Structure formats: C-alpha cells, structure tokens
Structure 1
Amino acid sequence: LGYKFMHLTNTVMRLSVHYFFLSDKVILIKENKTWEDALYYCRDHYHDLVTITSLDEQKRVEQEARFASTDYVWMGLHYACTLDLWFWVNDKVVRYKNWASGEPEDNCDMSGAMEKGGEHRWKKMTDLNVFNFLCSKP
C-alpha cells in the first residue's frame, strides 16, 4: 500500500507540474475587446493571441477559457479574404480544427473565437464583437 500511494502521489505531482508548465504559457484577459484590439493588446503586453495546433494545446487553452466572463474568447485565428483561407496570427498553418457544426460561410470580417464552455468549439465571429481573449506568453 505504501508503494502504491507513493507511486500515485509522484504521478499526480508530475501531472500537476506538467499542467502548471503548460498553463503558464496562456493567460486569459478578462477585458472585452474586438479581435484586432485583442491582438494588439497581446502583442504589446505578452506575445500574441493564442494559437492552437493540436488536441493537447486545445485542452490546455480550454482550462483558461472556462474562466472567461464572456460566452466566447478570441484566439489568434483569422480569415484572409484575398487568399480565401484561415490562418493563425503566428503564420502557422491551420491543421488541427475544432469548428462547431453549422458554421456560416467565410466572410472577410471574420476571426475565430472559442466557446468558453461545453465542447469549446470554434466559432466564426465578426471581428467587431467584443470578447475576453487568450494571450500566449513567450
């Protein structure tokens, strides 16, 4: 019993440290801003709007998003009308996707927001909406 407890404790401690390390790279800003204002805020005060390129990153970001005071949070996903594609503000290609079903057609004034709860699906939102947002830290 002593060994099993110690092993479980060590596992929990490692998981806690791992979670702290990952969550330390993302911060929720509980201010309501348009997508563009959120982008500039993150770049001025932290690093950038958050980028999600894997399920692991999605799960990490969900942990912060659930504390938002708005139903959605901005992330660094934007639609380039002239190129007809979605891209991350750090120039990473959008490979991992978590779009909600029934999303509207792409529009020139759209950016990506994540639901703060539920399945944390991504939504196409008009840039002028104001939401809390998630910044990445260097």
Structure 2
Amino acid sequence: MKTSFILLLFLNLFELHSGLFRRHYYVNDHKKWNDAQKHCRDNYDDLSTVSHPDLQTLSTNPALTDNKYWIGLYADNIWKWSEGGTATINYWKGGQHNPSNDRCGYADKTDSKVDDDQCSSEKTFYCMEDYELVLVKQESTWEEALDYCRQNYLDLAILYSAVVMTEAKNNSTNAQTDELWTGLRFLSGHWFWVNGENLQYEAWSGGGEPQCPAMNQRCGVYHRQEMAWKPEDCEKKLNFLCVNRKN
C-alpha cells in the first residue's frame, strides 16, 4: 500500500487570521467505504471532506491509480460528511442524487465530480489531517523555540509549500519581531526541516538557497516583510511559529 499527500488551505470563518491547512493522503488500497473510514480514523483524522476545487486538485495527483476513489461522503437520509455535518453538493455527476441507504460518495478523476455507489464496493480513497500554525509571542533562541514547540505542540513550523507560507503570513500579523523562527536548519552541508523532510519547495530571500552559510547563520527564519526564508543567528531571540494538529 502506498500513500501520497496533497496540501490544501481552508479558512476558519470565526477568527480573522486563524486559518488551517489540511493534508489529504491518497491511500492506494482498495477497501469498502466503511473499512476506508476506519483506516482513515485509525491512521489520520477521517475520510476526506472536499469542495469542488479540492477535487480538481486531488484528481490531478499523479499517484492516483484508479479513476474512482472514495471520499468522506455517505447517505443517512441526507448526504453527510464522515467528519460530521451536512454535505451540500453542487458538483454531482448527472445532477442531484437521492440519499438512499447504503450509498456512499466517490469522486471521478476524469471530471472531478461526485457520484455514489454501494458502500460495499471497493475503491482507493483519500484520508485527511487538519493542522494549524500557532504564533508564540515570546522571544527565544532557535533551540529554545524547538523545545517549546515539541513540549506544547508538535514541532517548529515546517513551511514546505506556498499554502503553508500563506498561512504563515496570515498568522504572523501580531508578531512582535519581524523575523520568526521556523523548523529550518543547516547541518552536515545542507538545509532541511526538523521533521526530516528535504526542501522540495523553497522560498529563500534573494532567490537562492544559502550555500555553506556562516557558522552563526545556520537557523532559518520566516521574514514577515519579505514573506521569505532567511538564514539567521541561532542564538538570536525571536518569536516563532509552531505547528499543531487541529482537534
């Protein structure tokens, strides 16, 4: 079984500058809808809740092996999402579908629309996890920030996509320092994220990754004004961004 992920941003409607980002994981394993739901709840948060634009993104995932994949949509007198709440769908294939018993929703990658099938049918599927960035307005060194985030949240922020960079911009509005620590570090000749991920996406100030930075410039910050990454002295006292799972 192989899993790949796609990152999407969605906004919390109740708090300005408090957005969330959602990771969707494609699971290349054929399961009945209920079994797919259990797999997602055991290993992630839930089967994926999606909008039509989300489906257009998910359907372009090169890891997709089938045209049809389960999402978190099911019938219980009305159409509902697995994570909870009524599903209002205006992107059905062939028009609105009646919420008949034992019917579950899947997406078709050929047109990014939703259809339904017997829940006992076996398909690959998408799971999701929800995350948020947390601004910590205390001035700390990079190591102190790392320890604080790991003790109180998940980790220092990993800004590995344009989506999460947008969230960093929105969530750092009230920061007390122009630069904020992130989970970006230089060791053994290369930059990497503290969760072990390499830099596939980059947003360096000045347009390029600093090669062999000075010994006192080997921790990475998010610069609010430039909306970019920069190398900085690890002993500098700055505010910082942590990442946390959204409950």
Asked if Structure 1 and Structure 2 have the same fold, meaning a TM-score greater than 0.5 normalized by the shorter chain, the answer is yes
1:68 has 2:175 as partner: yes
What RMSD, in angstroms, separates the aligned Cα atoms of the two structures? 2.2
Distance in 2 (CA, whole Å) between partners of 1:17 and 1:134 is 18
Equivalent pair of 2:157/2:182 in contact (CA under 8 Å): yes
Distance in 2 (CA, whole Å) between partners of 1:126 and 1:20 is 29
Q: Deviations over 1:76-102 (max 9, x none)?
A: 00000xx20001000011111111118
Paired residues for 1:97-136 under 5 Å:
97-101=202-206, 106-109=213-216, 110-117=218-225, 119-136=226-243
Distance in 2 (CA, whole Å) between partners of 1:115 and 1:49 is 15
Match of 1:77 among 184, 188, 193: 184
1:54 has 2:53 as partner: no
- Which structure is richer in relative contact order (CA contacts within 8 A, separation 6 or more)? 1
Q: Which protein has the bigger strand share?
A: 2
Which residue does 2:57 correspond to in 1? none
Of 19-28 and 85-94, the range deviating more from structure 2? 19-28
Q: Deviations over 1:27-65 (max 9, x none)?
A: 000000000000000000011000011111111111112
Paired residues for 1:34-53 under 5 Å:
34-53=141-160
Equivalent pair of 2:182/2:221 in contact (CA under 8 Å): yes
Residue 99 and residue 130 in structure 1: after superposition, are their counterparts in 2 closer, same or farther (change >3 A)? same
- How many percent identity over aligned positions? 30
What are the ranges of 5 or more consecutive residues in structure 1 without an aligned counterpart? 1-14
Distance in 2 (CA, whole Å) between partners of 1:130 and 1:58 is 22
1:21 has 2:20 as partner: yes
Distance in 2 (CA, whole Å) between partners of 1:111 and 1:91 is 15
- The normalised TM-score by structure 2 is 0.45
SS at match of 2:185: strand
Equivalent pair of 1:72/1:132 in contact (CA under 8 Å): yes
Task: Specify the structure having the higher radius of gyration (Cα).
Answer: 2
